[in-house]
Structure 1
């Protein structure tokens, strides 16, 4: 029987983050990948407002590397994040390994995006700071999650000390 998430604060955070991030992916990040014919007008308007307001050059220029990152987000991160919504509450034993892979990939793609924003010459300093305020917390969360999952996996793999014998 699973331990209540209220007694597992990190897991509760990962669950709430996954629920929020799933929504964010579908209705913000992945808009450029939606077929235009089925994209609701409200999402088109929201995307246009975002681009005009924040001048996000990653979305505007849509370089091949960034398009590849969005493909990874759509084909790997989105299904994995949805899976987390059932895996975390049930304490699925596969969660730490899958979350380590997910968080590592997400950290690297988000960190790369932050670097591209910082180095972009078509944004003002203020626009860069605002966009980094959107992107960087995700990099921090993914980095923390990767370290946490690595520690969880290591703890399960570490040999147990035998009474009276020292571990090597």
Structure 2
């Protein structure tokens, strides 16, 4: 029987994060990909609120690469979250390698967004700082997750090493 996720606090944090991430993706991030009949008023209102609150130009006039990142969310993040939620709950041994890949991808895409919006001239420095409150936490979580997964994988690899050798012979 798997150790309860409630006793694995970091995994519980990741589990809650992925549950929230799914909701945000379906209700905000992916809305631009939906056919009109699928777009609900509350989804459009959430996006309008995001633009009004954060002056997030990615949702006003997205560059081509941001549209690619949106498809990446649909094709990678959604299935990944659907896998990760039960995997974290059940303490699946594949979690460290899969979450490391996720952390690297998310860190790279998020820092790309941060670098881009920091160059925008259509918003003030205060508005850039407001955008930081939206994007920097995703970067921080991905960095934390990446470091955590590297540490977990290092522990596994260190435990699986063959005995050290001296001049090509095993030591006893």
Normalised TM-score (structure 1): 0.91
Runs of 4 or more above 6 Å deviation = none
Aligned length: 167
SS in 1 for 2:118: helix
**Equivalent residues in 2 for 1:1-168 (5 A)?**
1-159=1-159
8 Å contact from structure 1 (residues 117, 132) kept in 2: no
* Cα shift at 1:160: 5.5
Q: Is the 8 A contact 2:47 2:59 kept in 1?
A: no
Answer whether contact 1:99 1:145 (CA < 8 A) is retained.
Answer: yes
Q: Which runs of 5+ in 1 are unaligned?
A: none
Deviates most, 97-106 or 1-10: 1-10
TM-score (norm 2): 0.89
Rg larger in structure? 2
Q: Report the 3-state secondary structure (helix = DSSP H, G, I; strand = E; otherwise coil) of the residue aligned with 1:142.
A: helix
1:32-55 per-position Cα deviation (integer Å, ceiling 9, x unaligned): 112222111221122123223322
Offset of residue 159 of structure 1: 4.4
Q: CA RMSD in A?
A: 2.1
Deviation (angstroms), 1:155 = 1.1
